[in-house]
Amino acid sequence: MKLAYYPGCSLKGTSFEYEVSLLKILEVLNMEIKEIPDWNCCGASAAHSINHNLSVALPARNLAIAEKDGYESVLAPCAACSNRLKNADYELKNDDILKKKITDSLEMPYNAEMSINNMLEFLIGVVGKDKIKSMVKKPLSGIKVASYYGCLLVRPPKVMQFDDPENPVTMDELVALTGAEPVDYSFKTECCGAINSLSKPDVVMALTGNILYDIKKNGADLVVVACPLCHSNLDVRQREIERKYDEKLGLPVLFITELLGLSFGIDPKDLAIDGHMVAADRVLKKIKELTNQQ
Amino acid sequence: MKTVINEQNRRNFAAQVESMLHDKLAKCYQCGKCSAGCPVNFEMDYTPNQIIKMTELGMEDKVLSSKTIWLCVSCNTCSTRCPKGFEVTGIMDVLREIAEKKGIVSKVEKEVQMFHEVFLDNVKSNGRIFELELVGKYKLKTRHLFRDMFLAPKMLEKGKLKMHGEKIAGLNQIAKIFKDFE
Crossing angle of helices A52-68/A96-106, nearest 10°? 70
Look at residues A212, A215, A120, A219 and name the one whose alpha carbon lies nearest to residue A172: A120
Cβ(B176)–Cβ(A58) below 8 Å:
no
Nearest of A270, A238, A233, A276 to residue A254 by alpha carbon: A276
Residue A56, min C-alpha distance to chain B (Å): 10
Q: Is A214 left (phi over 0), alpha (psi -120 to 50) or beta?
A: alpha
Which residues of chain B lie closer than 8 angstroms to A274, CB-CB?
A: 158
List, for residues B84-132, the tens digit of each pLDDT value.
999 999 999 999 999 999 999 888 889 999 999 999 999 999 999 999 9
Pick from A151, A271, A239, A253: nearest CA to B79: A151
Q: What does the alpha-carbon distance between residue A254 and residue A279 come to, in Å, rounded to a whole number?
A: 10
A12 neighbourhood in chain B, CB within 8 Å: 128, 162, 166
Nearest CA in chain A to B89: A156
The DSSP line for A231-292 is HIIIIITHHHHHHHHT------EEEHHHHHHHHTT--GGGGTGGGSSS--HHHHHHHHHHHH
Report the SS3 class of residue A116. strand
Total residues belonging to chain A: 294
| Rounded CA separation B33/B52 (Å) | 13
**ipTM of the assembly?**
0.95
- Which residue type occupies A262? L
> Cα distance from B61 to chain A (closest Cα, Å)?
17
Residue A117 is classified by DSSP as E
C-alpha torsion sign, points A34, A233, B35, B61: negative
In the beta sheet, which residues pair with residue A182?
A145
Tell which of A38, A148, A166, A198 to mutate to test the B interface (max B CBs under 10 Å): A198
Indicate if the pLDDT at residue A236 is higher than 90.
yes
**Minimum-distance CB partner of B96 among A14, A50, A107:** A50
| Dist CA A33 CA B58 (whole Å) | 51
pLDDT at B1: 56
- B123 closest CB neighbour out of A16, A41, A193: A41
As a whole number, mean pLDDT of residues A5-10 equals 97
Taking only the tens of pLDDT, chain B with its 182 residues reads 566 779 999 999 999 999 999 999 999 999 999 999 999 999 999 999 999 999 999 999 999 999 999 999 999 999 999 999 999 999 999 999 999 999 998 888 899 999 999 999 999 999 999 999 999 999 999 888 778 888 888 998 898 988 888 899 999 999 999 999 99
With beta carbons under 8 A apart, name residues in chain A contacting B180: 53, 57, 105
**φ and ψ at A56, to 5 degrees?**
-100, -40
CB atoms within 10 A of CB B116: 23
pLDDT tens across A151-210, in order?
999 999 999 999 999 999 999 999 999 999 999 999 999 999 988 888 899 999 999 999
Sign of the CA dihedral with B68 first, then B69, B75, and B79 last: positive
The answer to whether B158 contacts A277, with C-beta atoms less than 8 Å apart, is yes
The full set of domain ranges for chain B reads 7-101, 110-181
In angstroms, rounded to a whole number, what is the distance separating the alpha carbons of residues A187 and A48? 25
Domains of chain A in sequence order: 3-119 (1.20.1050.140), 134-293 (3.40.50.11810)
Nearest CA to CA, how far is B53 from chain A (Å)?
21
Nearest CA in chain B to A57: B177
**Is B163 exposed, middle or buried, given 0-12, 13-18 or 19+ CB atoms closer than 10 A?**
exposed
d(CA B17, CA B91): 7
Length of chain B: 182
